[in-house]
Amino acid sequence: MRVFLQRVERASVAVDGREVAATGPGFLALVGVTHSDTAKTAAGLAAKLVKLRVFGDDRGLMNRSLPDVGGELLAVPQFTLYADTRRGNRPSFTDAAPPAQGEELFEAFVAGVRAAGVPVVTGVFGAHMHVTLVNDGPVTILLEA
């Protein structure tokens, strides 16, 4: 599982020209699932995201986590995080989990973050989405299991 995490001032996702989710300060997480991922993988990365200290404290140091700052999460399913571009010019997506497994583990990841008390909104699994964000920092981190 890969989570491409961006600290944001705000982020939103639209499907068919209609906004389906929006968040204030916190994280935008693009979430990719591969064949070997399990519910345990999803729970582990959810816990890591919640505890990750990348928000500034009173001295401007990255010492606060998402719950510490009352932040929110916009989670967006993103199978293209498993694109293989080593050969040719057209990416292969064979490392991405099949849709049923991807959706199940994306939902498990979201449930893990919610269980920690973080407000979560999501994109639409399998939809063509337009994601808008305002980076904060920018701070961009790849979490991988």
Break the chain into its structural domains and give their ranges. Answer: 2-144
pLDDT in tens, 10-46: 999 999 999 999 999 999 999 999 999 999 999 999 9
Local confidence band at 8 (pLDDT 50, 70, 90 cut-offs): very high
In this predicted structure, what is the pLDDT of residue 21? 98
In this predicted structure, what is the pLDDT of residue 28? 98
Report residue 59 as tokens: 């001295």
In this predicted structure, what is the pLDDT of residue 40? 98
Instruction: Report the alpha-carbon distance of residue 33 to residue 122 in Å, rounded.
Output: 16
Mean pLDDT score, 60-86: 97
In this predicted structure, what is the pLDDT of residue 92? 96
Class of the CATH domain delimited by 2-144: alpha beta
Residues known to be catalytic? 78-80
Q: What is the mean pLDDT of the chain?
A: 97
In this predicted structure, what is the pLDDT of residue 115? 98
Give how far Cα 48 sits from Cα of 93, 102, 136, 144, Å: 26, 19, 20, 10
Number of C-beta neighbours around residue 144 at 10 A: 12
Give every CB contact of residue 114 below 8 A, 6+ residues apart in sequence.
120
In this predicted structure, what is the pLDDT of residue 66? 98
Whether 22 contacts 74, CB under 8 Å: yes
